[in-house]
């Protein structure tokens, strides 16, 4: 018997902030793949942020 | 009414409570779903969720949660366990803290830098004199708001649990920032100690950045607009094109700064120099709001929430300009 990975046991529809992008989960997963650590907050922040809020204030 | 344009401490407290309850529900779900697999004691999860529901929390409770879900998504169990432990170590954060960016444990310094800014190196630790000037300006800005627009001061205190002070670049040609907020860091806002020159600037910056947090609270259950995230539009506040959500945020916080100046002027708490500066800024905010709202009217597919939130800002601006 193969044990299911933990990621497969989680339904994003039950997770605050992630339920709004549950439909984009595969794309987000590809985007963050291998990037865990320094940049992951930014990568997903930008993706999810476009839906439910965004960083603001940086100016040229 | 939560989407009213009038600030209130009750609204800020209600949004904070709502955000903490949503976080607690999700932590409870994580504990049930994966807690055993990563060695988390259910009693610890129960204690944490009770604490999350009971009292205000550090922005890092939210930041660690988001990173925890992403670690689980990558099946990085060691990182997930570390982040769950960080969540379990969170203590209530009862009152507004104002501190420099490096005045905290190193992992929290790094999280603030990477989440707030695309270029983390922009947020340097301010030197003692710069930090003191900024802290003094923040205290004076709150005193000014308490005197002239207390509802705004109270709502800011209800929305924000931490104001983080950093030093942006001192090269006038460099990319920089005035302030920053991020929905993954509920209750936190980053201010550039070099981003405001006067107490009035800082009062506006506080109204502005707390306005972003206010919108994050509104959006806990849905978006302001249905536009795709790769549809980009001209922003009234930034040189780079932004998703529609960013344009709505910009227009809303511009109206909030306008409201702040209007109320301070009406309350008669500004000196002659501040009065002249406020009038000049009001004119700029009017122009910028009109530009942002024009982009929204031309391209936004507003949700019911977005329509309700914007209606308050539009009604306020229309009445203020007509007055």
ipTM of the complex: 0.86
Contact yes or no for B309/B252 (Cβ under 8 A):
yes
Is B1 inside a domain boundary? no
- Comparing alpha-carbon positions, the chain B residue that sits nearest to A15 is B26
The answer on B259 and B135 residing in a single domain is yes
- In chain B (323 residues long), the average pLDDT of successive 10-residue segments reads 90 96 97 93 96 97 93 90 94 93 95 86 95 98 98 98 95 83 91 94 95 91 83 81 88 96 98 97 95 95 94 97 90
B114 and A38 within 8 Å at the Cβ level: the answer is yes
Tell me whether A42 touches chain B (CB under 8 Å): yes
**Do B62 and B105 belong to one domain?**
no
Domain boundary, last residue among B54, B88, B122? B88
- A54 contacts B242? CB cut-off 8 A: yes
If asked whether residues B23 and B114 sit together in one domain, one would say: no
| Residue-level pLDDT at A26 | 80
For A59, phi and psi rounded to 5 degrees?
A: -135, 160
pLDDT per position as a tens digit, B207-220: 999 999 999 999 88
A2 touches chain B (CB under 8 A): no
SS3 of residue B260 by DSSP: helix
pLDDT at A32: 62
Quick check: A39 and B114 CB within 8 A?
Answer: yes
Chain B residues closer than 8 Å to A44 by CB: 66, 70
Out of B29, B181, B245, whose CB is closest to A15?
B29
What CA–CA distance (Å, rounded) separates B60 from B185? 7
Closest Cα in chain B, distance from residue A1 (Å): 17
User: How many Cα neighbours within 13 Å face the side chain of B38?
Assistant: 26
- Using the Cβ of B22 and the Cβ atoms of chain A, whether some distance falls under 8 Å is answered with yes
Please check whether residue B3 lies inside any domain of the structure: no
Cβ of B212 within 8 Å of Cβ of A14? The answer is no
Tell me phi and psi for residue B257, to 5 degrees. -70, -40
Residue B129 counted as domain residue: yes
Residues 52-71 of B with CB under 8 A from A: 63, 65-67, 69-71
Most A-contacting residue of B29, B73, B74 (CB-CB within 10 A), to test interface = B73
Q: Please report whether residue B178 resides in a domain.
A: yes
Judge whether B117 is closer than 8 Å to chain A, CB to CB: yes
Contact between residue B145 and residue B40 where contact means Cβ atoms under 8 Å apart = no
The verdict on A3 touching B (C-beta cutoff 8 Å) is no
pLDDT in tens, chain A (60 residues): 456 788 888 999 999 988 877 877 887 777 665 443 333 444 444 444 444 444 443 332
For B132, what's the count of Cα atoms within 13 Å in the CB-facing half-sphere? 3
Which of A9, A40, A50 comes nearest B229 by C-beta?
A50
Chain B CB within 8 Å of residue A50 CB: yes
Flag if B72 and A10 touch (Cβ within 8 Å): yes
Domain assignment present for residue B4? The answer is no
Closest CA to B222 of B304, B314, B111, B123: B304
Domain identity same for B44 and B187: no
Whole-angstrom Cα distance, residue B152 to residue B145? 7
Q: Which residues lie closer than 8 Å to B20 by C-beta, 6 or more apart?
A: B52, B53, B56, B57
User: Final residue of a domain: which of B41, B66, B88?
Assistant: B88
Q: How many CB pairs under 8 A join A and B?
A: 153
Alpha helices in B149-243 (DSSP H): 150-159, 199-218
Residues in chain B closer than 8 A to A15 (CB atoms): 26, 29-30, 69
Structure-token match 């960080």, residue found: B86
Is the same domain home to B162 and B222?
yes
Is the residue at B165 inside a domain? yes
* B65-94 confidence digits (pLDDT tens): 999 998 898 888 999 999 999 999 998 998
Looking at B88, B110, B145, the residue that finishes a domain is B88
Cβ contact (<8 Å) for A44 and B71? Answer: no
Q: Starting at the edge strand that comes first in sequence, how are the strands of the sheet with B179-180 ordered?
A: B97-100, B162-166, B188-192, B179-180
Distance, CA of B132 to CA of B149 (rounded, Å): 25
Do both B84 and B151 map to the same domain? no
Is the domain of B20 the same as that of B104?
no
B28/B157 same-domain check: no
Identify the pLDDT of residue A33. 59
Residues B42 and B132 in one domain: no
For residue B2, is it within any domain? no
- With respect to residue B48, please indicate whether it lies within any of the assigned structural domains: yes
Question: If we measure between CA atoms, which residue out of B95, B109, B105, B110 comes closest to residue B160?
Answer: B95
Q: What is the DSSP letter of B92?
A: -
Mark whether B76 and B154 lie in a shared domain: no
* Together in a domain, B50 and B180: no
Cα(A43)–Cα(B62) distance, integer angstroms: 17
Asked if B10 and B50 touch (Cβ cutoff 8 Å), the reply is: no
Residue A23 sits at the chain B interface (C-beta within 8 Å): no
Instruction: Please indicate, yes or no, whether residues B25 and B110 belong to a single structural domain of this protein.
Output: no
**B74 to A29, B81, B158: CA distances (angstroms):** 8, 13, 35
Instruction: Give me the half-sphere count of Cα atoms (radius 13 Å) on the Cβ side of residue B140.
Output: 15
What is d(CA B201, CA B280) in angstroms, rounded to the nearest whole number? 12
> What is the domain extent for residue B141?
97-322
In this complex, the residue of B75, B180, B219 whose CB is nearest that of residue A5 is B75
- Structure tokens of B322? 């007509």
The count of domains in chain B is: 2
């Amino acid at each position: 018997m193969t044990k299911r990975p933990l990621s497969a046991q989680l339904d994003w529809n039950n997770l605050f902030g992630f339920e709004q992008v549950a439909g984009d989960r595969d794309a987000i997963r590809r985007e963050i793949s291998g990037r865990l650590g320094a940049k992951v907050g930014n990568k997903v922040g930008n993706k999810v942020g476009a839906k439910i809020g965004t960083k603001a204030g940086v100016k040229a | 009414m939560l989407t009213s344009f009038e600030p209130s401490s009750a609204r800020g407290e209600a949004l904070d409570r709502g955000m903490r309850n949503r976080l607690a529900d999700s932590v409870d779900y994580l504990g049930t779903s994966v807690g055993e697999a990563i060695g988390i004691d259910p009693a610890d999860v129960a204690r944490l969720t009770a604490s999350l529901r009971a009292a205000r929390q550090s922005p890092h409770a939210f930041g660690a949660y988001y990173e925890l879900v992403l670690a689980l998504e990558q099946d990085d169990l060691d990182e997930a366990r570390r982040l769950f432990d960080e969540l379990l170590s969170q203590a209530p954060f009862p009152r507004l803290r104002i501190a420099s960016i490096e005045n905290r444990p190193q992992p929290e310094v790094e999280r603030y830098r990477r989440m707030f800014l695309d270029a983390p190196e922009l947020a340097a630790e301010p030197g003692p004199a710069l930090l003191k000037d900024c802290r003094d300006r923040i205290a004076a800005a709150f005193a000014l708001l308490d005197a002239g627009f207390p509802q705004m001061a109270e709502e800011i205190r209800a929305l924000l649990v931490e104001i983080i002070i950093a030093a942006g670049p001192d090269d006038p040609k460099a990319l920089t920032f005035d302030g920053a907020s991020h929905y993954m860091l509920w209750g936190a806002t980053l201010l550039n100690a070099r981003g405001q020159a006067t107490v009035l600037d800082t009062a506006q910056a506080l109204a502005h950045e707390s306005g972003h947090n206010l919108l994050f609270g509104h959006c806990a259950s849905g978006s302001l607009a249905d536009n795709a995230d790769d549809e980009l539009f001209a922003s009234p506040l930034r040189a780079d094109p932004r998703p529609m959500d960013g344009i709505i945020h910009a227009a809303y916080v511009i109206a909030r700064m306008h409201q702040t100046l209007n109320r301070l002027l009406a309350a008669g708490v500004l000196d002659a120099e501040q009065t002249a500066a406020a009038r000049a800024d009001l004119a700029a905010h009017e122009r910028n709001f009109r530009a942002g709202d024009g982009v929204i009217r031309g391209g936004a597919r507003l949700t019911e929430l977005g329509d309700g939130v914007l209606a308050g800002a539009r009604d306020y601006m229309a009445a203020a300009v007509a007055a």
